[in-house]
Amino acid sequence: MSATQGSLSGLRVVEIGTSVAAPFGTQILGDMGAEVIKVERLGTGDDTRSWNPPSWSGESIAFMSFNRNKKSLALDYKSDEGREVLTRLLASADVLVQNLRPGALAKAGFSAEMLRKLNPRLIIADLSGFGHTGPRAAQPAYDPLLQAYSGIVSITGEDGGEPVRVPVSLLDMGTGMWMVISVYEALRRRDASGVGSHVQLSLLQTALTWMTSPMIGQAAGNPAPARLGSGFRGVVPYGAFPTSDGHVFISAGNDSLWLRLLGAIGAEDLDEREGFKTNPERNVRRPEVIAALSERTSAFTLDEIVPLLEKAGVPHSPVNTVDRVFKDPQVKAIGMMQSLPHPVVADLQVMNLPMTFDGAYPELRTPPPALGEGADEVLGSLGYDAEAIDALAESGVVKVDPRT
């Protein structure tokens, strides 16, 4: 095994999913070496194929972000022939990951009970929005809705401002990550018992996990957290402060760092103000401290203040825009962005998994597939010969490799 070849090589994963949560999780499994077969709707495929713009050479960036190292099987599994194809596929699989509408797969004839009888070794990972029990269990959900429902939106943004969500797929991608962890645990259990597990995950459970400290605070009887913008409860100053051409994030987590900060920007007089000397005092006078410090930081450009803070040993960061992050030398040094040959996008770059093994990132084998790309290979592995595959394609049950 090479340094980059994943330990899941030889494992067959079937994804019946769409959007972000299931596709991101199965992409991780694919990066770890698994064979991932993405079962998609005929005609349109995964919803993210049409999330466009943004695009790259006409290809959806959202789809390309979450679907490398996969084969696509566009299949009408509600037809008799398609149901037989999916039955054979799941009988051959090690893992099934699905995030369809609650109950949709069972309604099509593939309940968890049926699957456990079909393939006792199958690990079934069901991803939902609100969880699998309770009054909202049957409701579909999206990442921003669960950010709002779980309280994340209530503590994001400025006090008195409009509700603000975290503008990345925080819960979808987080749930995909938890799914991968659960699959590794289920594989270890299967090694011991010989049988698979039925794993259930949800965006709400992921959200509540990210909200661990605020929720425990509620259990202890503390008030709900205030909205502090970029600030942090318990530490002042901590957050984004204006410069003449942007913002710099400063974290002065103790009184020693507070003094270093003031010395760096020539604002030692602020320590003499009433209520500014210690962190507990500064917390009480948070708005006043922030206003006074903001006035001083505004006198500098980013290029002027960053070296001063660095020399003084004050934790800080410029508030970078995405274009600056993309060009940043530290970002380039760690090699997270990697080229991946693609038949349509000549210079495609994708994001590696955030881990290396003996200095190497997991292997990126294939680009995100076109709809139906890889179907003939998958069907052949299930016992269908060329004539049978052609018949399935002609009857509209499957769509086969448009790029071959």
Least confident window among 160-169, 295-304, 383-392: 160-169
Long-range contacts of residues 343-347, Cβ cutoff 8 Å, at least 24 apart = 343/367, 343/403, 344/57, 344/58, 344/59, 345/56, 345/57, 345/59, 345/64, 346/57
CA angle 188, 190, 193 (to 5 degrees): 115
Does the pLDDT value for residue 403 go beyond 70? no
Mean pLDDT of all residues belonging to the chain: 95
Is the CB of residue 340 less than 8 Å from the CB of residue 350?
yes
Is the CB of residue 115 less than 8 Å from the CB of residue 189?
no
Q: How many residues does the chain have?
A: 404
Q: Do β-strands 398-399 and 246-251 pair in parallel, antiparallel, or remain unpaired?
A: unpaired
Give the pLDDT confidence score for residue 7 in this predicted structure.
Answer: 94
Does the pLDDT value for residue 333 go beyond 90? yes
Identify the band that residue 229 occupies on the pLDDT scale cut at 50, 70 and 90.
confident
Identify the band that residue 2 occupies on the pLDDT scale cut at 50, 70 and 90.
very low
Range 132-156 average pLDDT? 94
Scanning 44-79, the segments in alpha helix (DSSP H) are: 61-66
Identify the band that residue 402 occupies on the pLDDT scale cut at 50, 70 and 90.
low
Neighbouring C-beta atoms of residue 383, cutoff 10 Å? 9
Q: Catalogue the active-site residues.
A: 172
Domain pair 12-211+334-399 / 238-320, same fold: no
Alpha-carbon dihedral 153, 204, 210, 334, rounded to 10 degrees: -100
Percent of the residues in the chain that have a pLDDT greater than 90, as a whole number: 91
Give the pLDDT confidence score for residue 67 in this predicted structure.
Answer: 98
What's the CATH class of domain 238-320? alpha beta
Q: Give the HSE-up count for residue 246: Cα atoms under 13 Å, Cβ half-sphere.
A: 14
CATH of 12-211+334-399, one of 3.90.550.10, 2.40.10.220, 1.10.1040.10, 3.40.50.10540: 3.40.50.10540
Neighbouring C-beta atoms of residue 73, cutoff 10 Å? 30
Residue 240, SS3 per DSSP: strand
DSSP letter at 254 equals S
Range 375-390 average pLDDT? 96
Domain boundaries defined on the chain: 12-211+334-399, 238-320
Six token digits for residue 396: 């509209």
Long-range contacts of residues 348-357, Cβ cutoff 8 Å, at least 24 apart = 348/56, 348/64, 350/64, 350/65, 350/68, 351/65, 353/28, 353/31, 357/3, 357/4
Nearest to 67, CA basis, from 100, 22, 97, 33: 22
Instruction: Scan for tokens 């949709």, then name that residue.
Output: 104
Does the pLDDT value for residue 207 go beyond 80? yes
Give the pLDDT confidence score for residue 1 in this predicted structure.
Answer: 34
Identify the band that residue 262 occupies on the pLDDT scale cut at 50, 70 and 90.
very high
The string of pLDDT tens digits covering residues 14-68 is 999 999 999 999 999 999 999 999 999 999 999 999 999 999 999 999 999 999 9
Is the CB of residue 9 less than 8 Å from the CB of residue 37?
no
Distance CA 319, CA 261 (A): 17
Amino acid at 131: G
